[in-house]
């Protein structure tokens, strides 16, 4: 339990929330950033030197900053809009109120419709 603060803290939680934005940003940024660094400073990215470590940390900081911006401007508004969209419940030709009452039979009906067979009923007809 003494190491819990190392793995369960606000920093890791924030990185987890922004992980998709980081995922989308980091590869192109690192590839193009590496090319720019090699063009501007030809001897920096040869081996692990203090200069190359600084360049990598700078690229990582830019990636986190861009990921934070894209998270706030794109991902967060999209998630907020998604939360306002009502869930669609299949009615299978019934009125919506009857479909809501028979919600327990929806998976069986959906599976029957998927396989083009009539749904199973509890009657012996």
Cα separation, 27 vs 100, in Å, equals 46
Predicted TM-score (pTM) of the model is 0.59
Cβ–Cβ under 8 Å, residues 67 and 41:
no
Nearest CA to 55 out of 65, 42, 44 is that of 44
pLDDT tens string, the chain, 125 residues long: the values are 788 877 788 888 888 888 888 998 999 999 999 899 989 988 888 888 888 889 889 999 999 999 999 999 998 888 888 877 776 666 666 665 554 555 445 555 555 555 555 556 666 55
User: HSE of 2 in the Cβ direction (CA atoms, 13 Å)?
Assistant: 0
| Helices vs. strands in the chain: H and E counts, helices first | 7, 0
Q: For 49-66, write each residue's pLDDT tens digit.
A: 888 889 889 999 999 999
The Cα–Cα gap between 23 and 4 comes to 25
């Amino acid at each position: 339990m003494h190491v819990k603060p190392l793995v369960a803290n606000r920093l890791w939680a924030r990185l987890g929330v922004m992980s998709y934005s980081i995922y989308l940003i980091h590869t192109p940024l690192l590839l193009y950033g590496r090319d720019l660094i090699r063009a501007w400073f030809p001897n920096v990215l040869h081996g692990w030197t203090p200069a190359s470590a600084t360049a990598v940390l700078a690229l990582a900081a830019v990636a986190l900053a861009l990921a934070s911006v894209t998270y706030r401007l794109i991902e967060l508004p999209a998630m907020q809009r998604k939360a306002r969209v009502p869930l669609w419940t299949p009615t299978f030709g019934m009125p919506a109120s009857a479909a809501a009452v028979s919600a327990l039979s929806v998976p069986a009906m959906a599976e029957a419709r998927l396989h083009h067979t009539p749904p199973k009923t509890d009657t012996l007809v």
